[in-house]
Amino acid sequence: MIVVFGCDQSYLPHLSVAISSLLHNNSHVHISIYIIHSDINAKDWDKLLSLDLHKRHTFINAKVGGGELNDLLTRDQFSKATYYRLLIETLVTHDKVLYIDSDVVVNGSLNDFWNHDITDKYLIAVEEPTMNGNHLGMSPSARYFNAGVLLINLKKWRDEFISDQVINFIRTETHRLEWLDQCALNAIINGRWERVSPKYNLQTAIIEMDVKQRQNRYEFCDSNDAIINPVIIHYTGVSKPWHAYNKHHYKKIYWHYLRKTPYRRMLPFDMNFRKLAMLCLPEKMRDAVRTSLLNKK
């Protein structure tokens, strides 16, 4: 199995969670793990290697200069690292890869997902719950995928220069890019992909959907089972499980795997004394304090 991550220095604790959970739940298969980055130093690389406790897997240090991406748009929570997936076709020699974002927990075996036949497909992915491609000039029937988990036919990408097309779209159609390269990928692929159950990329917005709305969007599978038994939990959105007040349904799983990494002593990124004191209170008392503070404003 070939798995690719893209990451920068600031996301190393979360990448460690993703890799730790991946290895824990897929110990039965050898995995070659490519990590595309531009700034992970030797000490931190050794921390990543330490996640493979039994030395069963292969880590590939795919360090890049990133010069060819410097002119591409970045915005808010999106750093240059979001574009590293566009370098996969030149950095990875295999014809089939599984790309995974770093803000995930792999909660089960990836075998069934990996073994999908992609011979005639550009990629296999999970549909975005709320987005469409109307603003991208896509075909009316084309569905819009989330680019956080992609099973990619790299041979087909290389043969048709998909990454070059996507990068060109980013440079020339900046005004269309609500979600940067995800929008550009969708514009170029234009519906020529296969969708799978959201259990392989359980985005936060899918969990929060109305049950009937979710069943209508993912009518081809058991979307309720995807919520209960997710294989990949993707912590999408601005609020993440490493934020003190985050209330994600699967927040505890993130912290469970973090404790298995060299970053086990990490506190929530936005922690301060006030938040720490609040978190020590029972939830009902916390809500009462928040209400009181709001009423004083």
Q: pLDDT means per 10 residues in the chain (297 residues)?
A: 93 96 96 95 96 94 81 73 90 96 97 95 95 88 96 96 93 84 94 96 95 93 95 94 89 96 82 54 63 57
The pLDDT of residue 270: 58
Task: Tell me if 98 sits within 8 A of 26, measured CB to CB.
Answer: no
User: Which amino acid type is present at position 147?
Assistant: A
Whether the Cβ atoms of residue 33 and residue 3 lie closer than 8 Å to each other: yes
In this prediction, residue 86 carries a pLDDT of 93
Tell me which residue of 157, 85, 148 sits closest to 118, measured CA to CA: 157
3-state SS class at 97: strand
Of 31, 207, 228, give the one whose Cα is nearest residue 111. Answer: 31
User: Could you tell me the strand order of the sheet in which 58-63 lies?
Assistant: 58-63, 32-37, 2-6, 96-100, 145-153, 123-127, 194-195
Q: Which of 218, 82, 109 is nearest to 227 (CA)?
A: 218
- Residue 114 token pair: 């990996």
Phi, psi of 187, deg, nearest 5: -65, -40
Q: Per the structure block, which two tokens stand in for 259?
A: 């404790």
Cβ-proximal residues to 150 (8 Å cutoff; 6+ apart), any chain: 85, 98, 99, 123, 124, 125
The whole-number pLDDT of residue 273 equals 47
User: The tokens 């985050």 sit on which residue?
Assistant: 246
Dist. CA 18–CA 242, nearest whole Å: 13
- For residues 94 and 88, give the distance between their C-alpha atoms in angstroms, rounded to a whole number: 10
Q: Tell me, what's the pLDDT at 268?
A: 78
Cβ atoms of 234 and 149 closer than 8 Å: yes
Query: Could you tell me the pTM of the whole model?
Result: 0.88
- Give whole-number Cα distances, 54 to 27, 48, 50, in Å: 10, 13, 9
Q: For tokens 């993703």, what's the residue?
A: 18
